């Protein structure tokens, strides 16, 4: 008995004998993450190559996320400046709490790697700390200028000020040495006066010591009016440079490595240089135009409106403007100088000289030298005419 095939079904013979075979439908593929195939290359891991796992992870993530066209910087755990602070005064902290440098890839930093906002599967936001303007320190720094003006106008004796500063130094210096040698005393000291200190000063000599040494040098070696202007430059021009440098340093270019043959600190910005120069010029012009005549009628002033430099000429608005230009340039350059390569450090290695020491010394000696050259040139010109 032959069984007939049912209608609507196909036997094996009819399927094989069909002249045109129906095409087999291919299964649809899900869209891949990337058109290029992912190739895993085995890498040898060793104790010496601590970045092996990190490199493999980075390559896999770049393939998956399509980041092959972006440049990823290698991990650098060494901050370019102390305490992770950048040259423009802004600190960048990673999500793990450690300071890291900015990466060229837009995204977050975590453990030194940038993965377009994803690291180990978690999104990390880049935390940018606020700029520390050191307001308590700047208030103390600026107040010295007002005290100096009061002592000058009240016709006080500069020798008494120098003696008082040396006496204060005899107490401050041993205390600072004890702070550096005793951790227990350092905790007490920093709890009381730490708000006036910078982070790097916790492990080196306090800036107040350099401040006193610089002021005493100016008061002891320069005429009183020149010394007063140098202290004003230290008190106000340095404060203005630091403040405006932190505010606008990121928006202005950095200063060149050298200016007029003098080495400049790499972290200084054009904003801080302009602020120091303008403040120094205003301090000098305002002092010799309005303040110096208040002490003994201006009889012991190096420059006066009527007689110029000790009666050698150069008075009036032209002379005052020239003093402002010189004082402004001296203030800006002296504030921006690299303390490791200036003054006596060219001959003797004294480490990083603090600008509280170099600024009054450089500004005072430069202004005094300018007045000496002016007086010498005026007398030589007068003798030549006669």
pTM of the model: 0.64
Q: Which residues pair with 264 in a beta bridge?
A: 337
Q: Which of 128, 86, 130, 134 lies closest to 242, judged by CA? A: 134
Phi, psi dihedrals of residue 162, rounded to the nearest 5°: -60, -40
Higher confidence at residue 266 or residue 210? Answer: 210
Q: How would you class 361 by CB atoms within 10 Å of its CB: exposed for 0-12, middle for 13-18, buried for 19 or more?
A: buried
pLDDT digits (tens, 9 = 90+) for 198-239: 777 788 888 899 999 999 999 999 999 999 999 999 999 999
How far, in Å, are 66, 67, 113 from residue 70 at the CA level?
9, 6, 13
Summarize the confidence of residues 270-275 as an average pLDDT.
94
Structure tokens at 304: 């006066």
Q: What mean pLDDT, rounded, does the chain reach?
A: 74
Residue 4 sits at the vertex; the CA angle it makes with 2 and 5, to the nearest 5 degrees, is: 135
* pLDDT of 176 higher than 60: yes
* pLDDT of 172 higher than 50: yes
Q: What is the DSSP string of 155-185?
A: T--HHHHHHHHHHHHHHHHHHHHHHHH-HHH
Range name among 236-250, 269-283, 333-347, 368-382 with the lowest pLDDT average: 333-347
Look up residue 101 and give its DSSP letter. P
pLDDT score for 113: 42
Q: How would you class 75 by CB atoms within 10 Å of its CB: exposed for 0-12, middle for 13-18, buried for 19 or more?
A: middle
């Amino acid at each position: 008995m032959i069984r007939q095939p049912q209608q609507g079904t196909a036997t094996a013979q009819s399927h094989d004998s069909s002249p045109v075979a129906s095409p087999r439908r291919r299964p649809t593929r899900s869209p891949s993450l990337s058109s290029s195939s992912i190739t895993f290359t085995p890498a040898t891991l060793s104790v010496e190559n601590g970045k092996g796992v990190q490199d493999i992870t980075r390559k896999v993530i770049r393939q998956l996320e399509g980041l092959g066209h972006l440049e990823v910087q290698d991990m650098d755990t060494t901050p370019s400046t102390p305490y992770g602070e950048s040259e423009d005064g802004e600190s960048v902290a990673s999500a793990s709490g450690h300071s890291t440098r900015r990466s060229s890839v837009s995204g977050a930093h975590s453990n030194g790697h940038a993965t377009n906002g994803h690291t180990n599967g978690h999104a990390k936001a880049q935390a940018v700390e606020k700029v520390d303007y050191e307001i308590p320190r700047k208030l103390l720094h600026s107040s010295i200028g007002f005290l100096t003006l009061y002592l000058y106008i009240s016709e006080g004796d500069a020798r008494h000020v120098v003696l008082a500063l040396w006496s204060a130094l005899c107490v401050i210096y041993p205390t600072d040495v004890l702070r550096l040698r005793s951790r227990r005393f350092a905790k007490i000291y920093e709890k009381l006066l730490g708000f006036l200190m910078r982070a790097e000063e916790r492990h080196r000599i306090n800036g107040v010591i350099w401040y006193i040494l610089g002021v005493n040098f100016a008061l002891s070696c320069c005429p009183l009016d020149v010394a007063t202007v140098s202290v004003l430059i230290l008190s106000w021009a340095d404060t203005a440079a630091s403040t405006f440098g932190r505010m606008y340093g990121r928006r202005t270019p950095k200063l060149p490595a050298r200016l007029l043959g003098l080495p400049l600190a790499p972290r200084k910005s054009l904003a801080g240089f302009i602020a120091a120069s303008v403040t120094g010029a205003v301090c000098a012009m305002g002092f010799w135009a309005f303040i110096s005549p208040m002490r003994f009628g201006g009889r012991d002033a190096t420059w006066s409106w009527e007689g110029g430099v000790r009666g050698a000429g150069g008075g009036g608005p032209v002379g005052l403007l020239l003093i402002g230009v010189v004082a402004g340039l001296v203030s800006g350059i002296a504030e921006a100088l690299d303390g490791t390569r200036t003054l006596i450090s060219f001959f003797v290695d004294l480490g990083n000289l603090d600008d509280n020491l170099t600024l009054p010394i450089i500004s005072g000696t430069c202004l005094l030298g300018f007045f000496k050259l002016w007086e010498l040139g005026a007398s030589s010109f007068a003798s030549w005419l006669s």
